[in-house]
Structure 1
């Protein structure tokens, strides 16, 4: 009985230690400052709303939304809300392991806070794939949107054990 109890306690301690090591870090990668401000920078980066052109680093993956613009929908696939917002994404893996990014990691919201669906009418696929250590990948996101001045894009990493969210304000050009 004692051995069984100790075995259960040991499993809980080891499992807890593994999960504790799986937290997601968010850093503002637009400007590098001294290590003294690292904790403050990480906390403020989680609450910050980034703009097009800003770079954010999430678990070693630098993500930059480089451009947002309205594009014409495919002639065979109508945009239900009237417009297609195309967002260019650039990534760089500065971490120690392979990283994954996918268009489903991004949600877009209109000015009223309503989630807007992705647009799947183009032949070009949205960004999706593994980024090896030290490598870069770029791609696009497509959203079926009503026309307005700005939108909120929320990035939530697929393989995160916490509720990390990075918010971008996207103003179409």
Structure 2
């Protein structure tokens, strides 16, 4: 009986690890297509291998192609909260994102599993609840060719800058948007 349980555990662990891999991350051009590449096939292969193993950094307004999904950080702003929303730290920061599925399969976005915000001291913050001033959630499935736009609130202390991290928990690599405090809309 123990051998059978051990075999089943090893089998599922092997399957799970086989599903893990590197995410393909690159800046998308203005038309929502993947970024420009070299005409030389050898250089293209070298560039693709380097891209798979690096963390890319972007700015507000940039669109990133993350495994066939174009993700844009449209805006980052400070929200005051309301009668029932008081920040435990210094302020609420809300990020507004759009995801466009350019693949042939449905994809799922999760503000809890895919997104985190870090401050200048590298402290990480996950999404919080904010009932006022929000325009939709960045959670759900996106059909092929479809889009999802939503907002994610964070309760954070004041910082010189923030970094919005997007990743797939089952793959390595992430896209990071840098958000200087002086670029936060009020």
Q: TM-score range by the shorter chain?
A: 0.7 to 0.9
How is 1:13-162 mapped onto 2 (pairs within 5 angstroms)?
Answer: 19=18, 23-30=22-29, 32-34=35-37, 36=41, 38-39=44-45, 40=47, 43-44=50-51, 46-104=54-112, 105-122=114-131, 124=134, 126-158=137-169, 160=170, 162=171
CA RMSD in angstroms comes to: 2.6
Q: Deviations over 1:8-48 (max 9, x none)?
A: 9xxx8xx77x9379653222213731354544156347332
- Counterpart CA distance in 2 for 1:42 and 1:144 is 37
- Flag structure 1 segments of 5+ consecutive residues without an equivalent: 1-7
Q: Take 1:136 and 1:42, find their aligned partners in 2: how far apart are those partners?
A: 28
Q: For 2:158 and 2:116, how far apart are their aligned partners in 1?
A: 17
Segments of structure 2 that go 5 or more residues without pairing to the other structure are 1-6
Question: What is the number of equivalent residue pairs in this alignment?
Answer: 158
Q: Secondary structure at 1:74's aligned position in 2?
A: coil
